[in-house]
Amino acid sequence: ETMTDAVAGDSQTADPNSPSATDRLPLFTAFGWGMGTLGVAAMYNAVNILLLQYLVDYVGIGAAIAGLLMALSKLYDAFTDPVIGAISDRSKSKMGRRRPFLLYGCGLLALSAILLFNVPSGLSSNLTILYAGGALILYATAYGLFGVPYMAMPAEMTTSANERSRLISFRVLAVSIASLIATFVGPVVLKYFDNSATGYSIYSSMLAALAIIGGVTAFLA
């Protein structure tokens, strides 16, 4: 009788890492949240791999100045991310504490993609530098505005470690898709248009589309 009770007790003991029926996230929610990273991943790859070449070779900004602008935007991002995190922690909305930031962030990411790879011609050297610096600051703001609340969501969506791993697996899938588009498909488009203004405009539109699609999908899911 004691052994039977022990076996029954073991069978009824829940694994703290296994999702319960109520904790299990629907596939649409898990997949949709993961797709949210399409924009930030695509922009991250585009800025770190292609933007410097674009600013130097196409726009005509000196390599040292272009590198400095990118470094300053990273420094700015390091200071603003904790602020954005604190604001989102204290945010109150009928749509949820984090979800509105997904919409704000993806919209600004899309705008920054268009601005960064469509530097107007005919500007003076100083105005061109100011334009590029402002676009980089906007991008850094958008990246943090979306990314910080977004990465805080899994811990609030489920108490299951397995479910959080499942969420991150969909995010990794989205990162792979975005990286492929930003670093392979995009350069193919640029080469097809001989790295012209048209090519960069199409490329920036692709990045903006990924940001909107990813952000809105995550918001809805």
- At 92-132, the pLDDT tens digits run 888 888 999 999 999 999 999 999 999 998 899 999 999 99
Q: Which residues 6+ apart lie within 8 Å of 160 measured at CB? A: 17, 18, 19, 20, 23, 24
Would the pLDDT of 29 be above 60?
yes
Share above pLDDT 90 across residues of the chain, in percent, rounded to a whole number: 82
Q: 166 and 30 in contact (C-beta within 8 Å)?
A: yes
179-200 tens-digit pLDDT: 999 999 999 999 999 989 999 9
Rounded Cα distance, 18 and 162, in Å = 6
Instruction: Kindly provide the residue ranges of all beta strands, DSSP E only, lying in the chain, ordered along the sequence.
Output: none
Look up tokens 């918001």; give the residue. Answer: 219
Bin 41: left if φ > 0, else alpha if -120 < ψ < 50, else beta: alpha
Give, in order, the Cα–Cα distances in Å from 91 to each of 44, 79, 85, 189, 215. Answer: 26, 19, 10, 41, 18
Q: 205 and 20 in contact (C-beta within 8 Å)?
A: no
Of the pLDDT bands very low, low, confident and very high (cuts 50, 70, 90), residue 19 is: very low
| Nearest CA-CA partner of 218 in 129, 104, 134 | 104
With H, G, I as helix, E, B as strand and everything else as coil, classify residue 193.
coil
Bin 22: left if φ > 0, else alpha if -120 < ψ < 50, else beta: alpha
Share above pLDDT 70 across residues of the chain, in percent, rounded to a whole number: 90
Mean pLDDT over residues 61-81, rounded? 94
With H, G, I as helix, E, B as strand and everything else as coil, classify residue 160.
coil
Of the pLDDT bands very low, low, confident and very high (cuts 50, 70, 90), residue 16 is: very low
With H, G, I as helix, E, B as strand and everything else as coil, classify residue 88.
helix
Mean pLDDT over residues 28-53, rounded? 94
Rounded Cα distance, 171 and 177, in Å = 10
Mean pLDDT across the chain: 89
Q: Which two tokens stand for residue 10?
A: 């073991």
